[in-house]
Structure 1
Amino acid sequence: MIQTRLIPRTAEAQEPPMLIKTLLAQSLRYEPQREIVYRNLFRMNYVDFNRRVRQLANVLADSGVAPGDTVAVLDWDSHRYLECFFGVTSVGAILHTVNVRLSPAQILFTMNHANDKVVLIHEDFLPILTAIKSQLTTVENYIILSDKVYTGSTTINRLSDIPTDFLGEYEALLTNAPSEYDFPDFDENTWATSFYTTGTTGNPKGVYFSHRQLFMHTMGLLTYIIGYEAMPFRGSSDVYMPITPMFHVHAWGFPFLATMMSAKQVYPGRYEPELLLKLLITEEVTLSHCVPTILNMLVSSPAAEKYRENLSRWKVLIGGSALTKGLAKAATELGITVMSGYGMSETAPVMAVGYLNEQEKALPTADQLELRTRAGRISPFIDMRLMDDDGNFVPHDGHSLGEIVARGPWLTQGYYEDPERGADLWKGGWLHTGDVASVTPDNWVIIADRTKDVIKTGGEWVSSLDMEDVLSQVDGVAESAVVGLPDDRWGERPHALIVQKPGYTLTTEGVKANLQAKVERGELHKWYVPDRILFVPEIPKTSVGKIDKKRIRSEMKDLILGVQSA
């Protein structure tokens, strides 16, 4: 063991713990008058926000929440959710951000498994609660959330309109709560948040993070996003609006960063294309993050061209699924700055963000798109490697492929009450992502595919992500998904779903001819021409907006077998 010289701790010197309340405290230091906006319904400054967070803490205490208890939230992206990010965690309780897009049975499982004690729920989700309420085993109190209080309606405030076993309505409870609350100090390794991620089999897995991990994730974003300006974000001039659900990995951690910086924040509530565009324009939003589906929806909107001038200041970080060159090109032509990021639920999530150095910023736009659609450059403080099936590290030469494994100060320690899957996640002391990639000598991560989505056909490995990227560049293709299906001769063959852009009439023969021409010019391998192409109105998605390839494989397999049997 290496001999080191430790600095002895003294009784007098106190080292404050890394707690979420410390991030909150920064919001009042320099720009407390900046605004936090909810849709076109509500706005406040950081003085009001801090007061409301403390009022929420008092409401939680009155509802029986003690340190270590779990508070569940079912809401759209809102200022209320942001208040819970800080209010719930700063009293030492655990914030469970419930994925409202799961089935009622899955939501029931997650709430019982997380031992939720108090539930804050938007009235839009009351039908879900009605379906599962009798089966909830640990919940003691409910608080209703409503937008009606911001529209001048007092309907929700009438006792007869609130379920009798609810404590009351959120705004009314905050109004009646004291505005002073002294957030305590406690161990920085205290459990702060939990949420559930779905896999291909079994029940959802509970992912959890400590105050220290979320504090360090915020410092990582601060270093890369602000310090290195990977996605330039200046509190003095930028306006942040998430278009990633706040239940999904803390909205990628950006609300913690934006609040610490006292940046102007805009929360859109339920995602509606027209309102999103309106908020982008009227609130002068400059930074967002979302999955490709949302960006494609906004870029394809008839109003996008009308607001080209306004969109030219918008910077968008893309994650969740691969950013194709076709979508990146369409966004860039509208003046939008796009960049990819990489991470997963288990990594809090950011492990890589696209960063162009001085030489790369001088490249032509087409060459920049090649870089911007990569998964990103490895983030500060993250140790990322590639590993082969035998547990050996693979060189970062830009060509060799291996599974991404990682270590870092904000990666989850495992899965709640699931030691077997947690041990598999951290096999060999490295977090295993299940993603196959190459890494360049200058730290660019190039995802080849998920291990379960790589297509092996005729002895060749074909990336479904590469195929989708190629299809995105076919004129008239709005979105695509490629999966491999069993084939008696070749082992597997690729099959594609395509959504057409409005005004186009594509044919299977036409798309295949386009790809075949690239094969004949030596631009593509012959295996990149899919066996079957189906045109669909939309691509199946998971609850967080990712392409649902498990469902696609199942449905296409059934369709093909049905055709063959007929």
Structure 2
Amino acid sequence: MLRGMMMNEPLLVTSILRHAALYHADTEIVSRTTEGPIHRYTYADAWVRAQKLANALAALGMQPGDRIGTLAWNGYRHLECYYGIGGSGMVCHTINPRLFPEQIAYIVNHAEDRLLFTDLTFVPLLEGIAQELSGLKGIVVMTDRANMPESTLPGLMCYEDLLADQPGSFDWPDLDENTACGMCYTSGTTGNPKGVLYSHRSSYLHAMAACMPDVFGLSASDVVLPVVPMFHVNAWGIPYAAPMVGAKLVFPGGKLDGASLYELFEAETVTNTAGVPTVWLALLNWLDANRKTLTSMRRIAIGGSACPPVMIQRFREMGVEVLHAWGMTETSPLGLANMPKSKHAGLSADEALALAAKQGRPICGVRFRVVDGSGNDVARDGTSFGRLLVRGSTVCSGYFGVTESPAHQMVPGWFETGDVVTMDADGYVQIVDRTKDVIKSGGEWISSIDLENIAVGHPGVQEAAAVAVPDEKWGERPVLVVVRKPDSALTREELLAVFEGKVAKWCIPDDVRFVDGLPHTATGKLLKSEIRHMVTGPEGV
């Protein structure tokens, strides 16, 4: 085999920020801070501060391979963690603060995080689970000395104090590109959350794919505001993709209401953004109520859950292009992006909207298959459905700390997504159902099994099923269908009260429907498809 005669330069995330600092040095990074004011600096500044952070981590005794947790909103300090931690050969472990506190404690302990960087917002949350975080060597509050909180947490460190006396240059290690640089935990239908470990190579390639014209379509002339949080799947790769092309970055912090987002969109002339449908519904309603429109926005990427066609249409009426996308934590996350081909130029308005409502076609570097129950490929005709399988350089091969074979491997070498879909000849995928009965609300997963187990724990419940019902705001919401025990007078309010303190508030079912009996399969399992019909059908309970 004849090998190419090219330099072997590893694909490292560090080189992304270095590139931005060298050739887009004066491009701004704008952040709405947790403390309140708007913060501005440049890629050149971020590069220096990332190196200060790397030096600070070394001074604290952190070693290559150590997991360093973050519990933070989208902001410039969080960006510095992405690069300062990952570039040092450590793992930037972003943690979702919307999870129930017990889950957060489990994730921190399972990942064996040595340090935890937190925004001021989440200090009270950490105080509540501090006794469970025995493996942590310290907690760093991402603020300055003037805003350090009074807290019961032992040995709190101030982020700005850590950086203050450190050199602005760091001898970045010459890492293998397959070295881990990031981690995000995903929760499925059963069991504990599972960690997906991203490499420098996968994050670099994912960022390149995200920049493509038929995906986010980013360039140095763009202004990008990621609404999707940096604590969830690397904010869909935007913290790597935007510096790669030298686009201006705008971070919204934790204020994601319509008025706050509109203020930043207009003040910073934002051209590109990305987030889940729930956020966009709130923004659209605010725009309508206040008779406002988006004047600089060019493209909005929508994913996390299916985007309603009416939402696509409402943005199009403002002259904003909607990119419907699909992905999951295990795919870094981008896997599908929906942009039309030249052949679609003649479609009617209704046909174009129907096409845009699909999840999209595969981005380069990710391969998809749709198979039947035996693992055989189904016809790519847009109507035959099957299980969606995926593989590629940005797809996980297993979970952190899990030694057994991946559960999602119906066909060896392929990751089963858990979605039932159709695919047409052009590769456009449309999700029609889920192989598992997980409920997806506002882009977050809710386990139906967890809800059922809690419900059945009530002495007045004989049997219970949790199913998803469509919701205009959240995409889906959980509803309980319950069979009372004989002579039980259990009420809706009494049963819902049982969930308080057992799951996060947004996981609590919206309603309880009482029935005389529930349908079952031949093997005794609850027949969820029929139960959903019982709830959502024309004669629903």
Q: Could you say what secondary structure the match of 1:202 adopts? A: coil
For 2:281, the equivalent position in structure 1 comes to: 296
TM-score normalised by structure 2 residue count: 0.79
Q: Which amino acid aligns with 2:371?
A: M
TM-score normalised by structure 1 residue count: 0.76
2:369 maps to 1:385:
yes
Post-superposition offset of 1:209: 1.2
Post-superposition offset of 1:495: 8.0
Query: What is the CA–CA distance in structure 2 between the aligned matches of 1:177 and 1:252, rounded to whole Å?
Result: 31
Query: What is the CA–CA distance in structure 2 between the aligned matches of 1:423 and 1:494, rounded to whole Å?
Result: 23
Contact 1:71 1:116 in 2 (8 A): yes
Contact 1:162 1:169 in 2 (8 A): no
2:124 maps to 1:111:
no
Q: Provide, for residues 312-359 of structure 1, a one-character-per-residue CA deviation record: whole Å limited to 9, x for no partner.
A: x34111111001112222222233221211111100011110121223
Report % sequence identity. Answer: 33
Matches within 5 A, 1:169-188: 169-188=158-177
Query: What is the CA–CA distance in structure 2 between the aligned matches of 1:335 and 1:14, rounded to whole Å?
Result: 45
Q: 2:131 aligns with which of 134, 138, 146?
A: 134
Contact 1:305 1:334 in 2 (8 A): no
Q: Which amino acid aligns with 2:260?
A: L
Query: What is the CA–CA distance in structure 1 between the aligned matches of 2:65 and 2:72, rounded to whole Å?
Result: 22
Contact 2:189 2:437 in 1 (8 A): no
Q: 2:3 aligns with which of 7, 18, 23?
A: 7
Q: 1:281 aligns with which of 238, 244, 266?
A: 266
Contact 1:25 1:260 in 2 (8 A): no
Q: Mean alpha-carbon deviation: is it higher for 384-393 or for 271-280?
A: 271-280
Q: Could you say what secondary structure the match of 1:393 adopts? A: coil
2:84 maps to 1:87:
yes
Query: What is the CA–CA distance in structure 2 between the aligned matches of 1:497 and 1:358, rounded to whole Å?
Result: 34
Query: What is the CA–CA distance in structure 2 between the aligned matches of 1:364 and 1:308, rounded to whole Å?
Result: 25
For 2:247, the equivalent position in structure 1 comes to: 263
Query: What is the CA–CA distance in structure 1 between the aligned matches of 2:328 and 2:473, rounded to whole Å?
Result: 29
Contact 1:156 1:169 in 2 (8 A): no
For 1:120, the equivalent position in structure 2 comes to: 117
Q: 2:208 aligns with which of 219, 231, 247?
A: 219
Query: What is the CA–CA distance in structure 2 between the aligned matches of 1:180 and 1:494, rounded to whole Å?
Result: 54
Post-superposition offset of 1:296: 0.5
Q: Which amino acid aligns with 2:267?
A: T
Pair 96,309 (structure 1): closer, same or farther in 2 beyond 3 Å: closer
RMSD, aligned α-carbons: 3.2
For 1:559, the equivalent position in structure 2 comes to: 513
Contact 1:401 1:437 in 2 (8 A): yes
2:34 maps to 1:45:
no
2:296 maps to 1:338:
no
Q: 1:239 aligns with which of 209, 217, 223?
A: 223
Q: Which amino acid aligns with 2:124?
A: P
2:28 maps to 1:35:
yes
Matches within 5 A, 1:522-537: none
Q: Could you say what secondary structure the match of 1:110 adopts? A: helix
Query: What is the CA–CA distance in structure 1 between the aligned matches of 2:265 and 2:473, rounded to whole Å?
Result: 26
Contact 1:144 1:166 in 2 (8 A): no
Residue-pair matches, total? 465
Pair 495,435 (structure 1): closer, same or farther in 2 beyond 3 Å: closer
Q: Which amino acid aligns with 2:3?
A: I
Pair 221,259 (structure 1): closer, same or farther in 2 beyond 3 Å: same
Pair 354,500 (structure 1): closer, same or farther in 2 beyond 3 Å: closer
Query: What is the CA–CA distance in structure 2 between the aligned matches of 1:499 and 1:367, rounded to whole Å?
Result: 22
Query: What is the CA–CA distance in structure 1 between the aligned matches of 2:197 and 2:87, rounded to whole Å?
Result: 16
Q: Which amino acid aligns with 1:31?
A: H
For 2:147, the equivalent position in structure 1 comes to: 156
Pair 493,239 (structure 1): closer, same or farther in 2 beyond 3 Å: closer
Q: Could you say what secondary structure the match of 1:410 adopts? A: coil
Pair 78,303 (structure 1): closer, same or farther in 2 beyond 3 Å: farther
Q: Provide, for residues 452-500 of structure 1, a one-character-per-residue CA deviation record: whole Å limited to 9, x for no partner.
A: 359xxxxxxxxx99xx9xxxxxxxxxxxx9x9xx9xxxxx999845559
Could you list the structure 1 runs, at least 4 aligned residues long, displaced by more than 4 angstroms after superposition: 160-164, 302-305, 492-501
Post-superposition offset of 1:436: 0.7
Q: Mean alpha-carbon deviation: is it higher for 94-103 or for 23-32?
A: 23-32
Q: 2:402 aligns with which of 392, 403, 418?
A: 418
2:291 maps to 1:306:
yes
Post-superposition offset of 1:29: 3.4
Matches within 5 A, 1:448-527: 448-453=432-437, 496=469, 498=471
Pair 118,220 (structure 1): closer, same or farther in 2 beyond 3 Å: same
2:425 maps to 1:434:
no
Contact 1:193 1:209 in 2 (8 A): yes
Post-superposition offset of 1:420: 3.5
Q: Which amino acid aligns with 1:243?
A: V
Contact 1:85 1:95 in 2 (8 A): yes
Matches within 5 A, 1:69-80: 69-80=66-77
Q: Which amino acid aligns with 1:261?
A: V
Larger proportion of helix? 1
Q: Could you say what secondary structure the match of 2:85 adopts? A: helix
* Structure 2 residue ranges without an equivalent (≥5): 453-464, 475-498, 519-540
* Structure 1 residue ranges without an equivalent (≥5): 455-463, 469-480, 487-491, 502-539
Q: Provide, for residues 1-25 of structure 1, a one-character-per-residue CA deviation record: whole Å limited to 9, x for no partner.
A: xxxx24289xxx7512111112222
Contact 1:120 1:142 in 2 (8 A): yes
Query: What is the CA–CA distance in structure 2 between the aligned matches of 1:494 and 1:168, rounded to whole Å?
Result: 44
Q: Could you say what secondary structure the match of 1:297 adopts? A: helix
